Structures are given as structure tokens and as C-alpha cells.
Structure 1
């Protein structure tokens, strides 16, 4: 299942954000922090249907108003858990209960391609898709990932991601965005320091 999505910053600059987890991608269908304060994408059932169709390799039925209510409840719980985890705070008990509730229902079953018969439903329900997202959240926020839920290191960015790098040393939401800006600032600082040192040497001579 694909992870990551394109965001658009000021000036219509598009950049790729790999959150590291399906559950975190789902969290970013709503507003989170400063960078995504106006990021609500689930305004109607059709919006949820469209997002799920982009994410799941199997057909998922059309969302209804009740499905949208459930999706937003699950999403907001995941969001609060992610923010707490990124700050090293205790995970909110009520939100854990919400995630566990959705994770306890039937999910979208995995299937091996190449078979000659249809096994199970040809179209999965929105509830099954939400269960799959909830189960991914259970895995994402498990003790195995303790210390790997981070906030971007840039001073003006608060995007949260799961660090899936082998060394666990990821610092930026995206090298295209904050990582590149940090490199440019560091280069300018070195250049300025070198120029200052050269001027001081010239004066001393």
C-alpha cells in the first residue's frame, strides 16, 4: 500500500512528504499544526471515497455520512496520538481506545494476485478500510517504534513522521523542502564566516 503524498506550499511549490505510515497519511487529511492548519480534505463523503480509492489497491465502496463521521473520529484520534508521541508525551488514553475500537473490526483482507477465483467480497466496505488504517496506527505507535515518531527539525515546520530509516537519523519532513533549505542556510553561514575570517585576517595584517 503506497505511503506519502504531495503537498503544496506557498507559491504553489509542490513537494513530496513521506510520513512513513498509512495512519499518518490519513492524519494529514485534516489540519495539523502550523504547516497544515488549513488542511481539511474530508469535507464530504465523496472526499473520503476519493482518498480511500487512491490508497487501497482493492475497490472500496462509496462512503456515506456515517462513514465520514467515523473516519474523522479515527483520524483526529490518530492525530492527537501522533502529536503526543512526537513530543515524548504519554499517549492519550481516550484516543488509544478509539483506535483500538476501529482496529477490532474486520479489515481489508490481504490477497495474493494471480488467482483464478474471487475470494471474499469484490468491493470492500469503508469500515474495513478504516479498520486497516487503525491497525496500521496500532503498529505505528507500538513500543517497537518508540522514539521514531518525530517532528521536522526545521524551526518553522511541525510536520510529524515515522522515521523508517535504518539508522533512525531522519531529521526533515522532506529533503526537497526543509532539508534543502537547511543546507542552503548552512552553506550561506559557512560562506559568511569564511568571508568574515578573511576580512579579519586582512585587517590584522
Structure 2
């Protein structure tokens, strides 16, 4: 029996480490903080600075005094569980009971309700409204994943990038043409360039 085919090797560029916010849902944007899962995972959210950037990018505001390292560890654990569960919708594998238990446990925390206050200048969000404790922030992400799994229409739109190097999970738009690539500017252009090189090589060889 021959050796298994080698996965394509690519350089880990600064762009490969960029945070992604185009997966179509909060929980999938968390999953996307690991790139190139099938060929060599690239960590995109590995320190406090990247954590803060991700929170800003998805519109979550941790309450003052949170511990970045503790929140990172918790989000990394939730990320693994979310990938296990979301990818099962595509390939039909049975998610780990530990993944399901973790997501259910985190979702059990009730996130605080947003509040308004009336001032002389009109209505505005109350001070501190929208800020989340670590437990509440994790709950918001876990609940998003549960909503994704519970919504058949969203589940039908879940797909993975056609690039063998990428395989990012994302939601296709609810209307219009389904996307083959996570991003035309990224994997789509890379695939077109690779196809062009193959055609040139074949022409030269002919």
C-alpha cells in the first residue's frame, strides 16, 4: 500500500495569522481563530493583544478587570468544542460528549440584559451596558453555536472552504449564489492563480 499523499505545504505568512470576522456567525468567527486546520493549524488568537482585537472585531466587550490569560484558555476550549460540533454538521461524525457538555454548561449562564437610561440629552445606553463578565461572554458565544445547530436553514448554509489548505467553516449567504471559497480575495484568488500556473505548465510541456 502506498504512502498517504502529502498535504500541500504553504508558508505561514502574516496574512495567514490575520483574524477572520467573515464566517457568518459569532461562534464560527471563534472557530476561525485557528487557520489551516487540516495541514498545520495556525493560531490567530494566542495572546492578550489578539484576544482584545478579536473581541472588538465581534462586538463583545469584556468587563474591566478580566484576566486575559484565563479568558483565552476558556475561549480556546470553547473553540475546540465548537469546531467539533459545527464540523459534525458537515461530515456526520458524532461530536464528543465533552464538547456538548462544555457548550451546554457555558450557555447556562444568563448574559446581562442591555439597559437604557434617560438623560437630559435623550436616551442612551446605560454606563456599563454591554460589558460582559468572562462567564457571560462565553455564554454569548456558546448560545450562538446552539442557535446555529438548532436552525435548519443556517445548518444548510454551513460549508467549508474548498481550499485543501484552508477548510474554514462559514455560512453561505441566505440568498444568492453559494460561495466555494471562504473569501474570493484569499482562497479564491489563490486557487485561480494555481490553476493558471498549471495551465501554463501543461502548455509548456506540450
TM-score between the two structures when normalised by the length of structure 1 = 0.68
Q: Could you list the runs of 5+ residues in structure 1 that have no partner in the other structure?
A: 1-8, 200-205
Does residue 178 (structure 1) correspond to residue 187 (structure 2)? The answer is yes
Counterpart position of 1:97: 101
User: Displacement of 1:182 after TM fit?
Assistant: 3.3
SS at match of 1:106: coil
Change (3 A) 1:60 1:185: same
User: Displacement of 1:172 after TM fit?
Assistant: 0.5
On the 8 A contact 2:159/2:170 being kept in 1, the answer is: yes
Deviations 1:113-142 (A, max 9, x none): 962572775743122111111111112222
User: Displacement of 1:188 after TM fit?
Assistant: 6.8
Change (3 A) 1:19 1:78: same
Of residues 35-44 and 142-151 in structure 1, the stretch that sits farther from structure 2 once superposed is 35-44
- Partners of 2:78 and 2:51 lie apart in 1 by 13
User: Displacement of 1:37 after TM fit?
Assistant: 0.8
SS at match of 2:159: strand
User: Displacement of 1:73 after TM fit?
Assistant: 2.1
Change (3 A) 1:167 1:105: same
Give the number of the structure whose alpha-carbon radius of gyration is greater: 1
- Partners of 2:156 and 2:75 lie apart in 1 by 27
Counterpart position of 1:76: 80
CA RMSD of aligned residues (A): 3.7
- Partners of 2:29 and 2:198 lie apart in 1 by 35
User: Displacement of 1:60 after TM fit?
Assistant: 3.0
- Partners of 2:130 and 2:169 lie apart in 1 by 35
Of residues 51-60 and 126-135 in structure 1, the stretch that sits farther from structure 2 once superposed is 51-60
Does residue 169 (structure 1) correspond to residue 178 (structure 2)? The answer is yes
Count, aligned residues: 187
Deviations 1:73-92 (A, max 9, x none): 22221122223223233343
Counterpart position of 2:142: 134
Counterpart position of 1:149: 158
Q: Could you list the runs of 5+ residues in structure 2 that have no partner in the other structure?
A: 1-10
Change (3 A) 1:52 1:12: closer
Counterpart position of 1:202: none
